[in-house]
């Protein structure tokens, strides 16, 4: 059914920290690794070793620079890596436009999924997603997208600590957090409140559940630029070794 369930009390989703994401593509890779054998797999690759490599991914990391160049503000100029996956929106038009009932939003936790046995590959849902989160699999003839690792987070064959999305578990800089954003006391909700989390393109009214934490303002060091001092105590018996090394 592509009519939406009443607002779900549980709103499972991700909080992504744009301050700490280093753009390593680890989450991209582990997402592909887990999900190609998962609920909505395979994540087909076409011409994987040829010149026109193309494939389905549920998670993509873009890189941007903010205020670059000479006219930029040195306090805010920086690089931002931006991971992009389905935001499991509260009011997702990708679901309501689907003519077949293949796209649906779960009433119990708000996860948005696609029934691969029902999708006719009309692609309309991908047009209705402002975030470009849905990718068509030309080999299967169906639409695919992030499942919020629905086959991990409830998976009782996994140790409890691993019942988290693959991208969250793998992130080396802990830039991804998973939890219930419908619960104001959850760790993710507190993080959002603390860091001024942003809803993407909120003016479109999709009510994205995933939230992005903007980069912290860097500001100059509190007591101005400092001279670098050589490491180690000055009376180090081997200090003469450092002297010929240019700094």
Partner 1 sequence: MHPAFSVIFFTTASGAGYGLLALMGLLGAAQALPADRWLGLLGLGLALGLIGGGLMSSSAHLGRPERARFAFSQWRSSWLSREAVAAVATFVPAGLFALGWVGLGRTDGAMAAFGVLSAAGAGLTVAATAMIYASLKPIPHWHNVFTLPGYLLFGLMTGALWLSALAHPFNAAGWAVRLLPVVLVAAAWGLKAACWRHLDSRPERLTANRALGLPEGRVRVIDWPHSQANYVLKEMGYQVARQHARTLRLATHALAFALPLALSLLVLAGAAGGGAALLAALAGTLGMGLERWLFFAEARHAATLYYGAERV
Question: Binding ligand SF4 by CB under 6 A: which of 13, 165, 182, 197?
Answer: 165
Pair 187, 179: CB distance under 8 Å: yes
- The CA distance from 94 to 92, in Å, is 5
**CB-wise, 27 or 192, nearer to ligand SF4?**
27
Helices (H) and strands (E) in the chain, counts: 7, 11
Examine residue 143 and tell whether it contacts ligand SF4 (CB under 6 A): yes
The one of partner 1, ligand SF4, none whose footprint includes residue 188, by CB under 5 to 8 A per kind, is none
Examine residue 84 and tell whether it contacts ligand SF4 (CB under 6 A): no
Examine residue 86 and tell whether it contacts ligand SF4 (CB under 6 A): yes
**CB-wise, 1 or 158, nearer to partner 1?**
1
Pair 56, 44: CB distance under 8 Å: yes
CB of 110 to ligand SF4, least distance (A): 9
Give the DSSP letter string of 12-64.
EEEEEETTT-----HHHHHHHHHHTTSTT----EESTTSTT-EE--S-EEEEE
Give kind and range of the element (H or E) at residue 178.
strand 176-180
Examine residue 166 and tell whether it contacts ligand SF4 (CB under 6 A): yes
**CB-wise, 64 or 154, nearer to partner 1?**
64
Pair 111, 80: CB distance under 8 Å: no
CB of 48 to ligand SF4, least distance (A): 19
- The CA distance from 127 to 86, in Å, is 14
Pair 85, 112: CB distance under 8 Å: no
Site for ligand SF4 in 44-63 (CB under 6 A): 58-59
CB of 68 to ligand SF4, least distance (A): 28
Examine residue 122 and tell whether it contacts ligand SF4 (CB under 6 A): yes
Residues that bind ligand SF4 (CB under 6 A): 31, 35, 58-59, 85-89, 92, 94, 97-98, 100, 102-103, 112, 114, 119-125, 129, 131, 133-134, 143, 145-149, 165-167, 206
């Amino acid at each position: 059914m592509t009519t939406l369930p009443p607002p779900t009390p549980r709103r499972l989703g991700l909080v992504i920290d744009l301050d700490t994401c280093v753009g390593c593509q680890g989450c991209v890779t582990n997402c592909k690794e887990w999900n190609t054998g998962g609920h909505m797999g395979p994540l087909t690759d076409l011409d994987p070793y040829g010149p026109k490599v193309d494939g389905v991914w549920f998670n993509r990391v873009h890189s941007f620079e903010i205020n670059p160049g000479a006219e930029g503000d040195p306090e805010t100029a920086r690089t931002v890596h931006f991971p992009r996956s389905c935001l499991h929106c509260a009011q997702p038009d990708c679901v309501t436009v689907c003519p077949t009932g293949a796209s649906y939003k779960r009433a119990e936790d708000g996860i948005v999924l696609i029934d691969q046995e029902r999708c006719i590959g009309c692609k309309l849902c991908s047009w209705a997603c402002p975030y470009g989160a849905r990718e068509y699999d030309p080999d299967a003839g169906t639409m695919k997208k992030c499942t919020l690792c629905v086959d991990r987070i409830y998976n009782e064959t996994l140790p409890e600590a691993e019942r988290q999305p693959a991208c969250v578990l793998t992130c080396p800089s802990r830039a991804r957090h998973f939890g219930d954003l419908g619960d104001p006391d959850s760790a993710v909700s507190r993080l959002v409140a603390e860091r001024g989390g942003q809803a993407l393109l909120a003016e479109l009214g999709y009510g994205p559940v995933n939230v992005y934490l903007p980069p912290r303002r860097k500001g100059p060091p509190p007591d101005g630029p400092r001279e670098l001092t050589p490491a180690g105590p000055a009376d180090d018996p081997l200090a003469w070794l450092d002297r010929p090394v240019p700094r």
